[in-house]
Chain A
């Protein structure tokens, strides 16, 4: 694996962009989740219309050994449909909130996709042969007149154009009163968790009619409710450990060996508030929008509105590293509250060897922080930079009065262009960055 470089030794260049290039955004096309599988060969996206599109990386060609394969559409299917809750007279969105790949065990691929209420297990398999020569049917499926059949033959499997089938294998429904925000697959290869605003359930991958409730923060009196669960994840190799984050900026780690109901946390990660920065919005911006364990399982990363924090799992009192994503927005919180941007739930991700972390921002910017070199860089996903293999130029935002050339002033940032979902290839320097309805793929320059 190539060393996951930061800004010092890696040059990122444009590789591909998927999606329409016009300005009209159909609501159904808004990308809502992006996820690589464990090998990085497959890249799945979910959108607001309930569809899943899976891209597959072409194998590297022999003619161009130093160029990585492109990602092309491999499969697409309608995962979730809009539904209606008659009891509450409320619509259930079909938007795909999360996709998680199961580790591959055979030729087929499995993934979990979820909307607000229902999780589905999908099997994606290839078919490249079909039987021909039926006795009772014509080739187009019409049934033959039995009187015309004079001999019997055995159908033969003949090659056909590759077809990728997506079939729903399990539907895990009716277990969440509130909106599902996270799913996470356990390293035990048997169970997974799903988290909504107030509860976390543990499922067995094979059993759909029941789940174990392992966290319940709903108070007896709803007036006492002060925080909600915002994200949850299993530890990458300790099958008994998971964490969940809250809207108040805390992360709780739970050990399922301690008790059946994990309301009592094992560890509570919380950084004391900086009194200098306290404001009307302090609590809102402390809400954690994403939590991700590092690949080696020693750290976890949390994303709140303005920063990324890296926590050592052994130290609960404060993070070991803090990176400011867009500190220049701190003075704009009032406007961002007005236009609801303050509630945007940005995601974050690690690279393969945990040396670099990445997250999105506004104006279609995304940021990378190199933990080793202590450097950070801002790039933009835009059509202007979309020439093949064009190298991404770092962007700079000017906060002071004097704006240098090539800098962008804070006031000219486009807050409707936000990058919420990003993903990093588990083994290579390939990243997928989702703007509103486009998916950009960048990779590092190979010499």
Chain B
């Protein structure tokens, strides 16, 4: 229990013992909210595929009362409580072993998955878009530039309904109204991706083809040593943080490249103006 009132950043607790192996399950890096689930007999539920709509679980303890158990085999409860206990569990050896097994199985699965996909191009595109976070087992290099700590200004034009560069000049060419913006790509993170709620095209689409898939370019703030923490903090203390001053962080760096979008939907009086009716591809 933390008895002091103040919790400075340096005292971030490191009492978590988590195996350091990366786990690739079905193309996804294991996230801190996933828990191994022994799937029981799933009835004819019409739930979305779990990988697509996985949401973090609420957590409760599940009391095992022998007379009132579900008819299907009891699986490991995917509650938040259980996940936390598991992550901080003492039995490291067994967890390490279990993780190794998972990794092996996942590698085999992913390998056979790729093989089956290579047969047809159509399927490949579909699968690729549904598992965008395939990652190598080699961790990417850490510690991005400290100036990325605070992020950049992002500017949007309500009349054009597209992102614009922050120096006020609209990009050219004018966005094509017929182009349907597709879903989030596997491109590097540092270009903004169009939200489906706003009728914009992704910026910098050219970058996706030329650059390899690099996943973690965002700031890494969960560093363990005090020194690293302090260096991260110092980057956040740049004068740009103080209110009132014109922040120039990255203000004119975003040369737009190729920008496309759908036509603005807001101004007409047509009753269907608000429907983002995008034709299927």
Tell me the A residues contacting B by CB distance below 8 Å: 15-22, 24-31, 45, 47, 49, 51, 53, 55-56, 58, 70, 72-78, 81-94, 116-118, 120, 127, 130, 139-141, 160-171, 173-175, 177-179, 197-199, 201, 208-213, 216, 218-220, 222-223, 225-228, 230, 247-248, 260-261, 263, 279-280, 283-284, 286-287, 289, 334-335, 337-341, 343-345, 386-389, 414-416, 420, 436-437, 439
- Known contacts A140-B169, A198-B84; A338 and B70 CB within 8 A of each other: yes
Q: Which of these, A22, A178, A338, A340, contacts B278 with CB under 8 Å?
A: A22
Shortest beta-carbon contacts, A-B, top 8: A26-B183, A81-B218, A72-B266, A16-B274, A260-B5, A339-B45, A130-B168, A77-B154
Closest partner residue, chain A, to B61 (CB atom): A226
CB–CB B85/A222 < 8 A:
yes
Contact yes or no, A386 B158, CB < 8 A: no
Chain B CB within 10 Å, residue with most, of A29, A219, A341: A29
Contact between chains at A334 and B150 (CB < 8 Å):
no
When C-beta atoms are compared, the residue in chain B nearest to A87 turns out to be B224
A91 to B30, Cβ gap below 8 A? yes
Determine which of A130, A339, A389 lies in contact with B42 in the assembled complex, contact meaning CB atoms within 8 Å: A339
With both chains docked as a complex, state the minimum distance between the C-beta of B180 and any C-beta of chain A, in angstroms: 9
Chain B residues in contact with chain A, CB under 8 A? 1-9, 12-14, 16, 18-22, 29-33, 40-43, 45-48, 50, 52-53, 55-63, 65, 68-72, 78-81, 84-85, 87-89, 129-130, 132-133, 139-140, 142, 149-161, 163-164, 166-170, 183-184, 189, 192-193, 195-200, 215-224, 229, 232-233, 236-237, 241, 243, 247, 252, 265-266, 271-278, 280
Q: Are B68 and A280 in contact (CB-based, < 8 A)?
A: yes
State whether A197 and B59 are in contact (beta carbons under 8 Å apart), knowing that A20-B276, A53-B198, A83-B216 are contacts in the complex.
Answer: yes
Cβ-neighbour of A56 out of B63, B158, B184 (below 8 A) = B158
A164 touches B9 (CB 8 A): no
If A76-B198, A89-B21 touch, does A29 touch B5 (CB 8 Å cutoff)?
A: no
CA distance A281 to B274 in the complex (A): 43
Please state if B31 and A338 are interface contacts (CB–CB under 8 Å). Answer: no
| Chain A residues, Cβ within 8 Å of B237 | 209
Is the pair A89, B155 in contact by a Cβ cutoff of 8 Å?
no
Residues of A near B151 (CB, < 8 A) are: 120, 168, 171
Contact B79 A117 (CB under 8 A): no
The interface residues of chain A lying within 8 Å CB-to-CB of B142 are 86
Cβ contact of A208, chosen from B19, B192, B236, cutoff 8 A:
B236
Nearest CB of chain A from residue B182's CB, rounded to whole Å: 8
Q: How far is the CB of B138 from chain A (nearest CB, A)?
A: 12
Q: Is A283 touching B63 in the complex (CB atoms < 8 A)?
A: yes
Q: CB distance A340 to B153 under 8 Å? A: no
B60:A248 contact, CB within 8 angstroms? yes
Q: Contact: B198 with A82, CB < 8 Å?
A: no
Tell me, in angstroms, the Cα distance from A269 to B130 when the chains sit together. 43
The answer to whether A166 touches B153, judged by C-beta atoms less than 8 angstroms apart, is yes
Bound CA–CA A120/B150 (angstroms):
9
CB atoms of A162 and B157 under 8 A apart: yes
Contact of A28 with B184 in the complex, beta carbons under 8 Å:
yes
Determine if B81 and A82 form an interchain contact, defined as CB atoms under 8 angstroms apart: no
Query: Once bound together, how far apart are the Cα atoms of A167 and B156, in whole Å?
Result: 11
B7 touches A211 (CB 8 A): yes
Q: Is the CB of B84 within 8 A of A82?
A: no
Are B139 and A81 neighbours in the complex by a CB distance under 8 Å? no
Chain A residues with CB under 8 Å of B48's CB are 25, 416, 436
Shortest CB distance B15–A (Å): 9
Contact present for A160 and B168 (CB under 8 Å):
yes
B149 touches A18 (CB 8 A): no
A386 to B276, CA, bound (A): 12
Query: Is A82 within 8 A of B215, CB to CB?
Result: yes
Q: Are A82 and B216 in contact (CB under 8 A)?
A: yes
Q: How far is the CB of B256 from chain A (nearest CB, A)?
A: 12
Residue of A25, A179, A335 touching B52 (CB-CB under 8 A): A25
Nearest CB in chain A: distance from B279 CB, A: 9
When chains A and B are docked, how far (Å) is the Cα of A280 from the Cα of B149? 47
Residues of B within 8 Å of A177, CB to CB, are 12-13, 16
CB-defined contacts of B215 to chain A, threshold 8 Å = 82, 84
B214 CB, min distance to chain A CBs, angstroms: 11
Question: Shortest beta-carbon distance, A151 to chain B, in Å?
Answer: 24
- On whether the beta carbons of A49 and B193 are closer than 8 Å, the reply is yes
Q: Given A117-B221, A166-B155, A92–B70 Cβ distance below 8 Å?
A: no
Query: In the complex the two chains form, is A87's CB within 8 Å of B166's CB?
Result: no
Whole-angstrom CA separation of A171 from B232 in the bound complex = 11
A78 to B156, CA, bound (A): 11
A27 closest partner in B (C-beta): B52
Query: Are B9 and A338 in touch, CB under 8 angstroms?
Result: no
